[in-house]
Amino acid sequence: MNRRELLKMIALTTGTAMIGGKSLFAFSDAGQSDHPFSSQDVELLDELAETILPRTDTPGAKDAGVGEFMALFVSDCYTPSEREVFYFGLAQLEARSRAAYGRDFIALSGEQRLELITELDREAMAHAQQQARREQPTPAEALTAETQTAQNQTAETQSSQEHADSEEALPHYFTMMKQLTLFGFFTSEVGATEVLRYEAVPGRYDGCAPYNGEPAWAT
């Protein structure tokens, strides 16, 4: 690892770069740490996350407090337009649940939850793949583009480009929910130490250690 590897964007299983953190456009009314989500919202997020990463013989999303984490992350790290998508998604989740089963998500059976979430996941993946096709220039295209633009690039054009990019590339709401579930779970202490493996002070490096099916390193 060198420091440049820190750059590797989190693709997660969603086919989309990590939303939030690396999204680039700033706004002014940020910074509240008391998130505006209600306790019902957090409970709904917890149940949603638990459907994606359930407790088995190891802890699941609820054990790791993923719902609370999602609420905080969306409030503090998402842009206003990303938050809009997320809020819309929460409402959509309930609307889709009622339309399909005549009940709130929280009242669905485990099977129904899995069915609905699987459906949303499929839609979100299709959305992400469509975006990826549109957005990915080949290396040759990127090299040509940088010779044309870099020489005249000012901080202002950079800033407006960032803005345009972040507005255009808004993901499906379920992509956000799934990303935050995975991110929130595997970077939690529970996820990292009880589901993955964690060694605070390795003390040595072995680059050719035998592997026999143990959990992956958390970090």
Partner 1 sequence: MPDNHYDAIVVGSGISGGWAAKELTEKGLKVLLLERGRNIEHVKDYHNANKEAWDYPHRNEPTQEMIAKHPVLRRDYPLNEATMGMWADEQANPYVEEKRFDWFRGYHVGGRSLLWGRQSYRLSPMDFEANQREGIAIDWPIRYEDIAPWYDYVERFAGIAGTQEGLDVLPDGEFLPPIPLNCVEKDAAKRIKEAFGGQRHLIHSRVANITQPKPEQNRVDCQYRNKCWLGCPYGAYFSTQSATLPAAVATGNLTLRPFSIVSQVLYDKDRQRARGVEVIDAETHETHEYTADVVFLNASTFNTTWILMNSATDVWEGGLGSSSGELGHNVMDHHFRCGASGEVEGYLDKYYFGRRPAGFYIPRFRNVGDEERSYVRGFGYQGAASREGWDREIAELNIGADLKQALSQPGGWTIGMTGFGEMLPDHDNRISLDHSIRDKWGLPVLSINVELKQNEFDMRRDMVRDAVDLLEAAGVKNVKGDVGDYAPGMGIHEMGTARMGRDPKTSVLNSHNQVWDAPNVFVTDGACMTSSSCVNPSLTYMALTARAVDYAVEELKRGNLS
Q: Contact region for partner 1 (CB under 8 A) — 36-44, 89-97, 100-108, 136-144?
A: 136-144
Q: Which of 42, 70, 176, 192 binds partner 1 (CB under 8 A)?
A: 192
Q: Which of 26, 91, 126, 164 binds partner 1 (CB under 8 A)?
A: 26
Q: Which of 41, 43, 47, 54 binds partner 1 (CB under 8 A)?
A: 54
User: What residues from 94 to 113 belong to the interface with partner 1 (CB under 8 A)?
Assistant: none
Residue 56 or residue 99: which is nearer to partner 1 going by CB?
56
> Exposed, middle or buried: residue 101 (CB in 10 Å: 0-12, 13-18, 19+)?
middle
138 SS3 class: coil
- Note whether 4 binds partner 1 by CB under 8 A: yes
Between the alpha carbon of residue 24 and those of residues 18, 21, 161, the distances in Å are 12, 8, 10
The b-or-e profile of 58-82 (16+ CB within 10 A means b, else e) is ebbbbbbbbbbbbbbbbbebbbeeb
Q: Which of 42, 125, 170, 176 binds partner 1 (CB under 8 A)?
A: 125
User: What residues from 159 to 178 belong to the interface with partner 1 (CB under 8 A)?
Assistant: 159
User: What residues from 34 to 53 belong to the interface with partner 1 (CB under 8 A)?
Assistant: 51-53
Instruction: Return the structure tokens found at 51.
Output: 């459907």
- The footprint of partner 1 on this chain (CB under 8 A) covers a number of residues equal to 91
Shortest CB 67 distance to partner 1, Å: 15
Task: Return the number of other C-beta atoms located less than 10 Å from residue 185's C-beta.
Answer: 26
Task: Return the number of other C-beta atoms located less than 10 Å from residue 14's C-beta.
Answer: 23
Taking the C-alpha atoms of residue 219 and residue 101, their distance in angstroms, rounded to an integer, is 41
User: What residues from 55 to 94 belong to the interface with partner 1 (CB under 8 A)?
Assistant: 56, 58, 60, 69, 72-73, 76-79
Helix ranges restricted to H, 58-154 = 66-77, 80-101, 110-135, 139-149
Q: Which of 143, 160, 164, 168 binds partner 1 (CB under 8 A)?
A: 143
Residue 40 or residue 118: which is nearer to partner 1 going by CB?
118
